[in-house]
Structure 1
Amino acid sequence: MNYLEAIVLAIIEGLTEFLPVSSTGHMIIASSFFGIASDDFTKLFTIVIQLGTIFSVIILYFKRFFQSIDFYKKLFVAFLPAAVLGLLLSDLIDSLLENPITVAISLIIGGILLIKVDDWFGDGEETEISYMTALKIGFFQCLAMIPGTSRSGATIVGGMTQKLNRTVAAEFSFFLAIPTMLGATLKKSFDYYQEGFTLNQEQINLLIIGNIVGFLVAMIAIKSFIGYLSKHGFRVFGYYRILAGAAILLIHYFVMPLIIV
């Protein structure tokens, strides 16, 4: 991975992490395009730069983090399903992270659902999140273990199924991203450490740059997304996902064979 590739991947992470379009899916496609998708450092990089986007949530919602202990208990309850399944299905998840076809199909299916989700659930009136609602959102988050699904999309829709206001559901999704992505980063880093994987100075520099770029871009993306979502809903993201998924399939089955020949 060179510096340009690192910056491009970090921009993609910052733009897509909190949008319902799948940051992981987009980074798999981008890294596959660069020819570095199967590289061990690339896999570590795409996880670790999530720390920058986590920090953007902390900065934007700094005052909201000084809430009651009850708030943190609900986050923990919502975090548990993904934590348990993530440990159990770690190898399967890693195997899916190199498959653009899985991403394409997930994008299309998710896109169809997003086009319909506003009609199905609308903008709910609930603004308080119960422990049961938090747990159900946590199970929805598990869907994002399939590349291309979108963690933010799954959790926001999960909140909407419980009649939560779209903005409330989106903000809880942002908060839930912190323990989820932090846990994923620590686990992946520990796995690489156990395997004897060490970072050289250039790789450390790439991680620093990736986190800074991801942080700055995510700050802009979160502010823009909340404003758009509250007024317009998910439909445009659904159409985007379908077009992106179709483009990936078209390139994979029709364009790439011609290039290879």
Structure 2
Amino acid sequence: MTVIQAIILAIIEGLTEFLPVSSTGHMIIASSAMGIASNDFVKLFTVAIQLGAILSVVVLYFKRFFKSLDFYYKLIVAFIPAAVFGLLFSKKIDELMESALTVGITLFVGGVILLFVDKWFGKTDVEDEKDINYATALKIGFFQCIAMIPGTSRSAATIVGGMSQKLSRKAAAEFSFFLAVPTMFAATAKKLLDFFKDGHTFNGEEIKLLVIGNVVAFIVALLAIRTFITFLEKKGFMLFGWYRILVGAVIIGLYATGHNLEII
């Protein structure tokens, strides 16, 4: 992986991690187009640069993270389902991650669902994430488990889950961002642990790529989150739905025509 390739992947991560469009699907297309060979470091890189994206949430919502313990209790409750399901079905999830066709189909189907989300869940009772109760947080946590199917998009699953519990678009999106912090941190920590347990270490070039990747992902995610919230409040999900359908169709089309799509 070159520095330029690392920067491009980090830009994609920063743009797509918090949008309901699946960062995995975009990574597949980008890595295939750039001819990046899949190896243990590349797989780790695509997960580890999530730390930069996580930091953008903490910076943008700094006051929320130091306001009350209740905030953290809700995140823990919402995080528990994914932690349990992740441990129980980790092997099956890894198998699904090897299927580009699964990603393409899930992107496409999820896009169709997003076309109708605004109509299905138009009525809202909760306008601010601080008004979310523990039962609602747990239900959103179970929706997050759906994102274990590659191509679903963690952001899409949790935002739709929040809206199904009568959260406003903004409240659902912000809670999704907050829930990303423990979820993505845990995923990154596990990936790093597995990497070192397998006897790998970082060389100087790899450390440089990780630093550059996290910095770029952080900056891009800052812009993406700000823009997404504004757009979501005004326009809703339909454009994201059509976009997912297009990306899903591209992946399915490439797969059907025999292109080698690397899952990184």
TM-score range, shorter chain: over 0.9
- 1:94-119 deviation line (CA, Å, top 9, x unaligned): 23223221111010010010001111
Measure how far apart 1:27 and its partner are.
1.2
Q: What secondary structure sits across from 2:64 in the alignment? A: helix
- Whether the aligned pair in 2 keeps the contact of 1:29 and 1:100 (CA below 8 Å) is no
Say which of 143, 147, 162 aligns to 1:144: 147
Q: Does residue 70 of the first structure (1) align with residue 73 of the second (2)?
A: no
- Whether the aligned pair in 2 keeps the contact of 1:22 and 1:148 (CA below 8 Å) is yes
Counting only pairs closer than 5 Å after superposition, residues 26-41 of structure 1 correspond to structure 2 as: 26-36=26-36, 38-41=38-41
Could you list the runs of 5+ residues in structure 2 that have no partner in the other structure?
none
RMSD over aligned Cα atoms: 1.4
- 1:144-178 deviation line (CA, Å, top 9, x unaligned): 11111000110000000000111011000000000
- Whether the aligned pair in 2 keeps the contact of 1:124 and 1:165 (CA below 8 Å) is yes
The one-letter amino acid of 1:20's match is P
Q: Does residue 250 of the first structure (1) align with residue 249 of the second (2)?
A: no
Shift of the 28–87 alpha-carbon distance from structure 1 to 2, 3 Å rule, reads farther
State TM-score, norm by structure 2. 0.94
Counting only pairs closer than 5 Å after superposition, residues 43-58 of structure 1 correspond to structure 2 as: 43-58=43-58
Say which of 217, 221, 224 aligns to 2:224: 221
2:198 is aligned to 195
Q: What secondary structure sits across from 2:18 in the alignment? A: coil
1:162 is aligned to 165
- Whether the aligned pair in 1 keeps the contact of 2:25 and 2:247 (CA below 8 Å) is no
Runs of 4+ with >6 A deviation: none
Paired with 2:80 and 2:58, the residues of 1 have a C-alpha distance of 21
Measure how far apart 1:255 and its partner are.
6.7
- Whether the aligned pair in 2 keeps the contact of 1:19 and 1:153 (CA below 8 Å) is yes
2:83 is aligned to 83
1:121 is aligned to 121
- 1:158-204 deviation line (CA, Å, top 9, x unaligned): 00000011101100000000000000000111111111111111111
Measure how far apart 1:34 and its partner are.
3.1
Q: What secondary structure sits across from 1:256 in the alignment? A: coil
Q: What secondary structure sits across from 1:126 in the alignment? A: coil
Paired with 1:91 and 1:198, the residues of 2 have a C-alpha distance of 24
Paired with 2:54 and 2:62, the residues of 1 have a C-alpha distance of 12
Higher relative contact order (CA 8 A, sep 6+): 2
Measure how far apart 1:28 and its partner are.
2.7
Shift of the 37–236 alpha-carbon distance from structure 1 to 2, 3 Å rule, reads farther
Shift of the 160–52 alpha-carbon distance from structure 1 to 2, 3 Å rule, reads same
Paired with 1:99 and 1:248, the residues of 2 have a C-alpha distance of 11
Counting only pairs closer than 5 Å after superposition, residues 103-122 of structure 1 correspond to structure 2 as: 103-122=103-122
Q: What is the aligned length?
A: 257
Deviates more, 1:149-158 or 1:35-44: 35-44
Measure how far apart 1:208 and its partner are.
0.5
